[in-house]
Structure 1
Amino acid sequence: MAPYLESVRSFADVPITDAGVDTVAFLEAAQGLVGLFGDADLLGSAAFSVVQSDLKSNIAKVRARYDAATAVSATLEQLVENEKGEKKRTATEGLLWLLRGLSFTCKALQNSQANKSEELAAAFNKSYEGTLKQFHNFVVKGIFSVAMKACPYRNDFYTKLAADPAGGPPATQEKLDEELNKWLAALAAIVARMEEFYEKGGHGKGF
């Protein structure tokens, strides 16, 4: 077992059809990822509260749009298309920033998985350079720099991720790697799909 990962919806279990990525399932999986930054105390740094807060805020924006227009928001693509003609596209912008935050986290953990001798701070720094940094001003860059320096030690993070909150035996490293890699691969595929959708439709203009 990989206890934390099995306690939340996996991105691998988010249905994707010809109509697009299932909105509710995606938001549930994204909420599970937010737990890494605070709720489950896995990354264990108050400095990461800015990341957690940003992800939560953008999940809420997409959720509010879904609740207000459920019939035309079953998939992320439909939700964005439906909001297109409106003056203020709050959910479209929120989803764009949510995808950026998810991409940052995904690439950081993929870096960590690919480089077993590397500390988390290095993995997150490398990811930040290639994802969020280009969208941030000087002040926000400084906040993220502090957050990444405060990353827990690699061993502490993986020990917490493998631990069973109920007190049972922890997941083996092999099982943990298997579950985490599957989770991250599915997330990366969704992010890539949605980035292409935004690019082709020009949905990110103005944000």
Structure 2
Amino acid sequence: MAAYPPGGTYFDNAKRSFIKVPMNSSEDNAISTSEFLEASESLTGLFDVLGSTAFSPVKKDMTQNIKKIRDRQLESPVDSETLQDLVRNDLYTFIYLQQLPNLDGTRGLDFTSRALRRNLTQQPNEELSVSFRDAYGLTLKQYHSFIIKPIFSAAMSACPYRKDFYGKLGEDEGRVKKELDEWLQALEDRVKVLNEFLARPEAKW
């Protein structure tokens, strides 16, 4: 079954695109928490388009991280309007209880964006399995145990052919690639901001 509405693309179905996630340049690129989580949830749908149950661990890991951040946001909405504020306030509130929500979900986002960026523009004739395997080695692999690595390796090998994947995103290949490029650029910009913030002393404990 197609992952897009008649005449449209996959991105027409998304609850929110990263393009529409506010990032306030006047406040050190503060990223709105609610909208970011909605866009991240929409991203997990791409693993369904990839079509293999082997990607279930990737989707599950990302979904769990989204839930952790949303749970913390719901506990203290005033202190969690932006992702940066959520981290700062949680550091101050829970530093001794060691209950800091896991924002390492950015690794999963980084992994996905790198794989799709490589496949879309850097290696436009490369099969998805190669692109995802390369991205895995650059992002998640170093954090995984010898038990987890084979599971993710199986997921990379189970990627569909690139022509089938892009076909599931829409009938108009030119439009699909244009919208995917725009979506990826917005995701990359926000992941870059978050990674730079998480590397600062104020985001560590």
Normalising by structure 1, report the TM-score. Answer: 0.88
Contact 1:22 1:74 (C-alpha < 8 Å) held by counterparts: yes
Distance 2:70 2:34 in 1: 8
1:84 pairs with 2:71 = no
- Equivalent of 1:46 in 36, 53, 71: 53
Please give the per-residue CA displacement for 1:89-122, whole angstroms capped at 9, x wherever unaligned: 342x2x22x1000000000000110222110000
Paired-residue identity, %: 41
Letter matched to residue 178 of structure 2: E
- Structure 1 Cα separation of the partners of residues 165 and 126 of structure 2: 13
Counterpart of 1:129 in structure 2 is 137
Relative to structure 1, the CA distance from residue 84 to residue 90 in structure 2 (aligned partners, 3 Å threshold; closer, same or farther) is: closer
1:108 equivalent to 2:98? Answer: no
Tell me the SS of whatever aligns to 1:51: helix
Provide the alpha-carbon RMSD of the alignment: 1.3
List runs of 5+ in structure 1 lacking aligned partners: 163-169
TM-score (normalizing by structure 2): 0.89
Does structure 2 retain, via aligned residues, the 8 Å contact 1:125–1:148? yes
- Is 1:12–1:187's contact at 8 Å kept on the other side of the alignment? yes
Determine the structure 1 residue equivalent to 2:78. Answer: 71
**Which 5+ residue runs of structure 2 have no aligned equivalent?**
1-6
User: How many residue pairs align between the two structures?
Assistant: 191
SS of residue in 1 equivalent to 2:199 = helix
